[in-house]
C-alpha cells in the first residue's frame, strides 16, 4: 500500500479496514480556531519537523531558515516549530536547536521573517509555537548516545549503551529550564511554547515511570508532576496572550511494555490520558497536539508507513485511525483546549477530506501534517484556495527523510520532492557510506 494519490484510491482502498470518515467539502479547514486568547487563522498545522541543521551554539542554520520560510509561504494556520533543547545535555544531536540568552536574537529574526514571508505570500500570519525539549533517553549532545532516563526500560536498551537514571534534583532543574525557555520564547516573538511530552523523550518517559521512587515516580500524580509543574510555571511566568501548549503522547504503543496509555494487553487505554488532558486544561494549557509511539522503536505507531526499516505489523490506515482517535479522546476530555491530531501524511490526497470530516463534527480542531509539510510546503494554500492537494507534490512516505536523520551528521528533508537540496544529502549519508 502506498499513500493515496487520488481521493478515489482512498475510497476504494481497504473497504473492511480503517473506519475513516470522508467529506467532499473541505471548506471547514479554513475556519479560524481559538487558542486561548489567540486565533489560528485556519485548521491546518505544520508539525514540528526537526532538520538537525542548527549551528553548534543552537541557533538556526541556513537549512533551518529555508525550511521555515518555505513553511510560511505555504500558508498553514499554525507552524509548530521543531524541537529546541532546554539544556545542552538534553540535545538529541550536536546540531539540534537550543535557545539561549546569547543566541535569542537569531530566533527573533527567524520568527519575524516567518511572519513577514507568510503575509508577503498572501497568507494570514500563522501562530508559531516553539517546542521546548529535553531528549532524555535519546540525548546525544556530542554525537554519541548519552541517555538520561527517569527509569530503566530494558526493551529500549538492547544496544548496550550505558544509561544514567536521573535524580529528583535533576528533574527539578529540567522543570526550571523549561520555564526559562518559555520566557525566552515569549521574548523572542514566538506565540507560544510547547512543553514537549511525547515520543519517549524525557517528560514522556516519566509518564510511565511506575517503578521510580520519590516525587516523580509511582502514582499518576507523581509521574505527571514535571509536566504539570512546567506548564503551570510557564503559564505563571508568561503573559496571558502567550500560549502554553504541549505535544502529548497519549499512547506509547503495544511494543513498549507498560507504556503510557496502555492496557495490560498493550492496547490503547484512554483512562490516564483523559485524566491528564483535564489536568492540563485546568492549568491553562490552551493547545494540545496529540501523538503516539516512539520514532526510534515503533515508528509505524508514530508515523504510519508502508515502506521503511521494517514491514509494519498493521495496515498504515489502522495506524492513522488510532492517531486520530487519540485526538478525539483528548478533545472529549478537554473541550476548552484546541486539539490537534497527528498522522495525516499517509492519507495523501484524501487527507483534507478526512480532516474536514473529523473537524466538521468537532472531533478535534486542527489537522497536523508532518512529512507532507516537508515534501509539499504549499499544501495548506492548495487546500484552502483550491480545495485539493496536487498529486505530483505528495509525500510518498518513503522513509528516506528519517533514514538521513538516523545517520550521524545527516540533515533530513524530502529526497523526492525537494531533490535539488536533499538528494545529494541522501547520497552522501545513506548511499556512499
Residues that bind ligand FMN (CB under 6 A): 47-50, 82-83, 131, 198, 247, 291, 302-303, 342-346, 369-372, 401-402, 405, 412
Q: Work out how close the CB of 48 gets to ligand FMN at its nearest, in angstroms, rounded to a whole number.
A: 3
Q: Work out how close the CB of 398 gets to ligand FMN at its nearest, in angstroms, rounded to a whole number.
A: 11
| Helices and strands per DSSP (H, E), number in the chain | 15, 13
Q: What are phi and psi of 369, to 5 degrees?
A: -115, 125
CA distance 409 to 63: 13
CA distance 417 to 392: 9
Q: Work out how close the CB of 95 gets to ligand FMN at its nearest, in angstroms, rounded to a whole number.
A: 12
Diameter over CA atoms, the chain: 56
| Secondary structure of residue 183 in the 3-state scheme | helix
CA distance 410 to 386: 35
**Residue 244 in grid coordinates:** 502554553
Q: Which helix (H) or strand (E) holds 274?
A: helix 271-282
- Our CB check for ligand FMN shows the closer of 212 and 285 to be 285
**Residue 86 in grid coordinates:** 532546554
- Our CB check for ligand FMN shows the closer of 180 and 247 to be 247
CA distance 255 to 257: 6
- Our CB check for ligand FMN shows the closer of 156 and 203 to be 203
Specify the DSSP class assigned to residue 375.
Answer: H
| Secondary structure of residue 327 in the 3-state scheme | helix
Q: Work out how close the CB of 55 gets to ligand FMN at its nearest, in angstroms, rounded to a whole number.
A: 17
- Our CB check for ligand FMN shows the closer of 283 and 371 to be 371
Q: Work out how close the CB of 382 gets to ligand FMN at its nearest, in angstroms, rounded to a whole number.
A: 16
- Our CB check for ligand FMN shows the closer of 217 and 373 to be 373
CA distance 149 to 141: 15
Q: Work out how close the CB of 231 gets to ligand FMN at its nearest, in angstroms, rounded to a whole number.
A: 16
CA distance 321 to 375: 22
Q: Which helix (H) or strand (E) holds 72?
A: helix 62-73
CA distance 194 to 289: 9
Q: Work out how close the CB of 154 gets to ligand FMN at its nearest, in angstroms, rounded to a whole number.
A: 25
CA distance 150 to 208: 9
- Our CB check for ligand FMN shows the closer of 216 and 369 to be 369
Q: How many angstroms separate the Cα of 386 from the Cα of each of 115, 351, 359, 380?
A: 23, 14, 19, 10
User: Please, what is the end-to-end C-alpha distance for the chain in angstroms?
Assistant: 29
- Our CB check for ligand FMN shows the closer of 131 and 212 to be 131
Q: Which residue has the cell 517546542?
A: 131
Q: Work out how close the CB of 357 gets to ligand FMN at its nearest, in angstroms, rounded to a whole number.
A: 17
Q: Which residue has the cell 500560549?
A: 243
Q: Work out how close the CB of 194 gets to ligand FMN at its nearest, in angstroms, rounded to a whole number.
A: 8
Q: Work out how close the CB of 400 gets to ligand FMN at its nearest, in angstroms, rounded to a whole number.
A: 10
- Our CB check for ligand FMN shows the closer of 234 and 379 to be 379
Cβ burial 118-142 (10 Å sphere, 16+ → b, else e) = beeeebbebbbbbbbbbbbbbbbbe
**Residue 81 in grid coordinates:** 516549530
Determine the residue with CB nearest ligand FMN.
370
- Our CB check for ligand FMN shows the closer of 135 and 286 to be 135
Q: Torsion-angle region of residue 343: left (phi > 0), alpha (psi -120 to 50) or beta?
A: left
Q: Work out how close the CB of 78 gets to ligand FMN at its nearest, in angstroms, rounded to a whole number.
A: 12
- Our CB check for ligand FMN shows the closer of 197 and 217 to be 197
- Our CB check for ligand FMN shows the closer of 292 and 334 to be 292
Amino acid at each position: 500500500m502506498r499513500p493515496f494519490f487520488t481521493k478515489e484510491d482512498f475510497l476504494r482502498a481497504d473497504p473492511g479496514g480503517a473506519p475513516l470518515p470522508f467529506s467532499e467539502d473541505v471548506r471547514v479547514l479554513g475556519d479560524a480556531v481559538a487558542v486561548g486568547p489567540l486565533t489560528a487563522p485556519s485548521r491546518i498545522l505544520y508539525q514540528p519537523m526537526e532538520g538537525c541543521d542548527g549551528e553548534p551554539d543552537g541557533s538556526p542554520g541556513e537549512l533551518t531558515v529555508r525550511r521555515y520560510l518555505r513553511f510560511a509561504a505555504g500558508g498553514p494556520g499554525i507552524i509548530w516549530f521543531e524541537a529546541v533543547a532546554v539544556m545542552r545535555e538534553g540535545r538529541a544531536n550536536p546540531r539540534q536547536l537550543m535557545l539561549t540568552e546569547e543566541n535569542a536574537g537569531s530566533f527573533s529574526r527567524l520568527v519575524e521573517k516567518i511572519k513577514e514571508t507568510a503575509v508577503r505570500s498572501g497568507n494570514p500570519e500563522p501562530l508559531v509555537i516553539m517546542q521546548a525539549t529535553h531528549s532524555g533517553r535519546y540525548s546525544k549532545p556530542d554525537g554519541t548516545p548519552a541517555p538520561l532516563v527517569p527509569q530503566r526500560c530494558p526493551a529500549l536498551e538492547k544496544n548496550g549503551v550505558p544509561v544514567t537514571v536521573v535524580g529528583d534534583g535533576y528533574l527539578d532543574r529540567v522543570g526550571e529550564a523549561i520555564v526559562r525557555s518559555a520566557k525566552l520564547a515569549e521574548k523572542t516573538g514566538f506565540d507560544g511554547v510547547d512543553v514537549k511530552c511525547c515520543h519517549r523523550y524525557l517528560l514522556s518517559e516519566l509518564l510511565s515511570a511506575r517503578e521510580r521512587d520519590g516525587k516523580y515516580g509511582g502514582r499518576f500524580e507523581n509521574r505527571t508532576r514535571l509536566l504539570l509543574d512546567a506548564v503551570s510555571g510557564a503559564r505563571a511566568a508568561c503573559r496571558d496572550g502567550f500560549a502554553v501548549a504541549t505535544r502529548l503522547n497519549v499512547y506509547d504503543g503495544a511494543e513498549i511494555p507498560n507504556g503510557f496509555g496502555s492496557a495490560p494487553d498493550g492496547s490503547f487505554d484512554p483512562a490516564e490520558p483523559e485524566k491528564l488532558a483535564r489536568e492540563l486544561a485546568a492549568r491553562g494549557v490552551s493547545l494540545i497536539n496529540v501523538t503516539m509511539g516512539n520514532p526510534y522503536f515503533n515508528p509505524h505507531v508514530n508515523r504510519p508507513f508502508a515502506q521503511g526499516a521494517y514491514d509494519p505489523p498493521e495496515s498504515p490506515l489502522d495506524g492513522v485511525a488510532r492517531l486520530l482517535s487519540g485526538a478525539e479522546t483528548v478533545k472529549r476530555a478537554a473541550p476548552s483546549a484546541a486539539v490537534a491530531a497527528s498522522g495525516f501524511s499517509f492519507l495523501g490526497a484524501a487527507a483534507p477530506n478526512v480532516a474536514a470530516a473529523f473537524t466538521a463534527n468537532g472531533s478535534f480542531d486542527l489537522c497536523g501534517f508532518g512529512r507532507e509539510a516537508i515534501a509539499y510546503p504549499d499544501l495548506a494554500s492548495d487546500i484552502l484556495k483550491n480545495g485539493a492537494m496536487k498529486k505530483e507534490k505528495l509525500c510518498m512516505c518513503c522513509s528516506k527523510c528519517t533514514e538521513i536523520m538516523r545517520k550521524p551528521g545527516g540533515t533530513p528533508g524530502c529526497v523526492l520532492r525537494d531533490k535539488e537540496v536533499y538528494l545529494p544529502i541522501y547520497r552522501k549519508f545513506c548511499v556512499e557510506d
